[in-house]
Amino acid sequence: MNTQTIEFARPINQVTTTQRWNVPDVEALFKLPFADLLYRAQQTHRAHFDPNAVQLSTLLSIKTGGCTEDCGYCPQSAFHSAGVENREMLAVSAVVKAACAAQQKGAGRFCMGAAWREPTDEDMESVVKMVKAVRELGMETCATLGMLNDEQTEQLRAAGLDYYNHNLDTAPEFYGNIISTRDYQDRLDTLERVRKAGMSICSGGIVGMGESLTQRAGLIAQLANMNPYPESVPINNLVRVEGTPLAQTAELDPLDFVRTIAVARITMPTAHVRLSAGRQQMSDAVQALCFLAGANSIFYGEQLLTTGNPDVGADRALLDKLGMYPSTGKPE
């Protein structure tokens, strides 16, 4: 029986936004005994959040398909034949209608995503109107529009955008295996512009794309070493879509996904860690372990951008079963 005392790399409750995490330290967290890892993640989580509250976000594709990027996981890429129909930008009225429906179902944040490399001036005019209209509903707003320049970030800030999503996807050294139409620095540059403009950052990644454990640790280290690290960190489990290059990738062990959630919580203690894509394929037990590991945000609604998501009734039933509730307020 191994009675060795486990020494954690960082003391709990003494983490700051300027703390540096190297990849070996993060990998060491991944390798902790499962119970010890979750115990530490729970302690970190409870030091900063109501452990039974979950932030609910709804995601809407405002422009679908035909993207000129070749991301290996994405069914919206023009390089792949995944059966996604190309659709033009939605009207502002359609976006407001969807946001109202999401708000009535309990979502507090509304996220708008567009499939393109970067927005045009005409695109930005429409997006600015959408952001302003959703803000008028009293919801938090988030957008994911690809790469941005300084003028575009300023337009979004002036419109009142709360969060900008731009995922790093994976570790720098594995990135070229997944995407060739842009490089890692392009993503970092966009995030820096967003931060300088004064908006909050939503940035995470996808696991289960064939990366090694060291590369998974590299993704978390890259996120955690941002100064400050993202306010919102979506952790996606690869949805293997037929017609994309990653369709035949071996499925990630569910407990390895839970470990990723826990390590994200420990290294980014005050971030909202979002249980994101791939949740439809997870059992209630695995999702419960993710919440135990420190996830406190989910995408809420039957559809993500083009892939499925648990329906609202199933999510409500799961949260009730776990004694959890929306972070917008504990039920009476």
Q: Which residues contact 193 (CB under 8 A, 6 or more apart)?
A: 148, 149, 150, 153
Q: Considering only CA atoms, which of 57, 99, 87, 13 is closest in space to residue 306?
A: 87
User: In the annotation, is 135 catalytic?
Assistant: no
Tokens 């919801």 belong to residue: 139
Catalytic residue selected from 67, 109, 193, 279: 67
Please tell me which residue in 40, 142, 187, 290 is annotated as part of the active site. Answer: 142
- Which residue out of 109, 193, 216, 274 is catalytically annotated? 274
Q: Which of 109, 187, 193, 202 is catalytic?
A: 202
The closest of 183, 54, 61 to 106, measured between CA atoms, is: 54
Catalytic residue among 40, 111, 193, 279: 111
Residue where the block lists tokens 């941005």: 148
Active site residue 67: yes
Q: Among this protein's residues, is 142 annotated catalytic?
A: yes
Q: Spell out a b/e string for 280-295, using b for 16 or more CB atoms within 10 Å of the CB, else e.
A: eebeeebbbbbbbbbb
Q: Is 100 a catalytic residue?
A: no
In degrees to the nearest 10, what's the CA dihedral of 7, 8, 14, 17? 150
Closest Cα partner for 290 from 332, 316, 319, 247? 319
Helix (H, G, I), strand (E, B) or coil at 259: helix
- Based on the residue annotation, tell me whether 290 is a catalytic residue of this protein: no
Catalytic residue among 74, 109, 259, 265: 74
**Rounded Cα gap, residues 36 and 75, in angstroms:** 38
Q: Which residues, other chains included, contact 288 with Cβ-Cβ below 8 Å and sequence gap of 6+? A: 318, 322
Cis status of the peptide bond prior to 228, with omega within 30 of 0: yes
Which active-site residues does the annotation give? 67, 71, 74, 111, 142, 202, 274
